[in-house]
Structure 1
Amino acid sequence: MSALFRLTATETKLFFREPVLVFFALALPPVLLVILGSIPAMREPSEDLGGARAITVYVPIIVAMSVTVFALNSLSQLFATYREKGVLRRMRTTPVTPRVMLGAQLLMSTVLSAVTMLVVLAIGRLAFDVDLPRQLPAHLIAYLLTALSMFAIGLLVASLAPTGKSAGAIGTLLFFPFLFFAGLWIPRTEMNDVLRTISDFTPLGAGVQSLQDAAAGHWPQLLHVTVMLGWTIVAGGLAARYFRWE
């Protein structure tokens, strides 16, 4: 455990040496929320959203977005780069195993994305009067399930991509469709039946709906919990099957 925490601290320091990645992973979600919240129409009740304010609807979407950045742009690209440069192979000659490296990366990504989530919730509450989640345990469970499913997909990308650049390219290709079905461009309540059904079976669509349900004081729906667990098991199993340390 001490090796895990020391390596997590080291990897976190290395992460903060990449200003572009730090901006997209930590700064972009809060900045995007501020930009959206500065639009007057986003702060007014909307009939299309069932009387809810758009800014309230977008807070869970931006929380899910922060997890996606870590999963598809940080975790996947870093592991593919480490394998490409032989870092994982050389690590086998040290007391620190590659599995500890994996644990350190997952721990770092989870903690930093959780910090981003707290910042987004705080900005929404203090700047735009967005209520905090009424069902906090449900919100935590929804967040963890969303993170698990997306991190599993990120590791699958890392297991299949031959280089760090290709992992980044694959992650970018997945990033925008996932966010579309999460409701970033068209909120789920405004999607037609076909798009909403597809969204229900994507990890971010299920995750966003679960976060929105928790914000309204409800527990995640069984369908969405099953979808996120399914993505976690399938993507995680494939990642374990095809992952190469060198």
Structure 2
Amino acid sequence: MLKLTFVETKLLARDPGAVFSLLIPLFILVVFGSSIEPGDRVLLPMALAIAVGLVGLYMVPTTLATYRERGILRRMSATPVRPGRLLVVQLLLQLVLAVTACGLLLAVAGTVLGAHLPDQALSVVLTFLLGTASMFAVGLLIAALAPNGRAANGIGVLLYFPMAYLAGLMQPADQMPDMVALVGEYTPMGAFGQCLRDVWAGGAPDPLLLAVMAAYALVVSAVAARFFRWE
């Protein structure tokens, strides 16, 4: 497991998609953050949701579907290192990537941009874990259903932009039709983004939206496990 983790870490570090997942949210934060007031409590939560969404909907499904397409999972089934261990290692590394991206955003926002940072660390951690779990669950379902890595990449991108729009990451929710904004709030990314905004505003995350993210994480993961193929 240690050697597998070491090898997978090197592969992830060389993946252009990992760099993309780190730099794109940071670019958005710096470019738009330089033109807003330091007390703004919307941009940083939006950037955090974008970062987790990129990892969950792009990195997770593309990597796993590519491994299956290349026969890596099938060949590993004949070794002492079972393919299930590779799946666990990959999910942990993708989680580390998401944490790194969000940590970088928080560091730059707090030191360079003077952005507001919430005092409720526990609420932030709970929201992050549930939001990440729900986004990763969707990524696993894409990986389970996509025939190859290229298809997983395309499906992830096609899902990402509508979900980001519905979540109010491209257009403020108060400028959207009421029904569209309501639907968007109950998507994985929408619930995640809204809970982050609630925490940044000094309140507590909505328990209903936390439950929505937990439900996505459990139900979608179960469906992904049902349809996931090793070869």
Which bin holds the TM-score, normalised by the shorter protein?
A: over 0.9
Does 190-199 or 117-126 show the bigger shift? 190-199
Query: Residue 18 of structure 2 corresponds to which residue in structure 1?
Result: 22
Query: Residue 164 of structure 1 corresponds to which residue in structure 2?
Result: 149
Matches within 5 A, 1:1-246: 3=1, 5-19=2-16, 21-39=17-35, 42-43=36-37, 53=40, 56-246=41-231
| C-alpha distance in 2 between matches for 1:77 and 1:22 | 11
Contact 1:136 1:214 in 2 (8 A): no
**What runs of 5+ residues in structure 2 fail to find an aligned partner?**
none
**What runs of 5+ residues in structure 1 fail to find an aligned partner?**
45-51
Which AA in structure 2 matches 1:34? V
Contact 2:18 2:59 in 1 (8 A): no
Contact 2:143 2:228 in 1 (8 A): yes
| C-alpha distance in 2 between matches for 1:159 and 1:167 | 9
Contact 1:8 1:107 in 2 (8 A): no
Query: Residue 48 of structure 1 corresponds to which residue in structure 2?
Result: none
Q: Deviations over 1:72-93 (max 9, x none)?
A: 1111011111111110000011
Contact 1:145 1:228 in 2 (8 A): yes
| C-alpha distance in 1 between matches for 2:18 and 2:215 | 30
Contact 2:167 2:193 in 1 (8 A): yes
1:222, distance to aligned residue in structure 2 (A) = 1.6
Which AA in structure 1 matches 2:122? P
Does 68-77 or 143-152 show the bigger shift? 68-77
1:189, distance to aligned residue in structure 2 (A) = 4.3
| C-alpha distance in 1 between matches for 2:191 and 2:15 | 31
Contact 1:156 1:236 in 2 (8 A): yes
Number of residue equivalences: 231
| C-alpha distance in 2 between matches for 1:7 and 1:151 | 21
RMSD of aligned alpha carbons: 1.5
| C-alpha distance in 1 between matches for 2:71 and 2:147 | 12
| C-alpha distance in 1 between matches for 2:203 and 2:5 | 34
User: TM-score, normalized by length of structure 1?
Assistant: 0.89
1:188, distance to aligned residue in structure 2 (A) = 3.0
Once superposed, which parts of structure 1, at least 4 consecutive aligned residues long, lie more than 4 Å away? none
Between the two proteins, what is the percent identity of the paired residues? 40
Which AA in structure 2 matches 1:198? V
Query: Residue 47 of structure 1 corresponds to which residue in structure 2?
Result: none
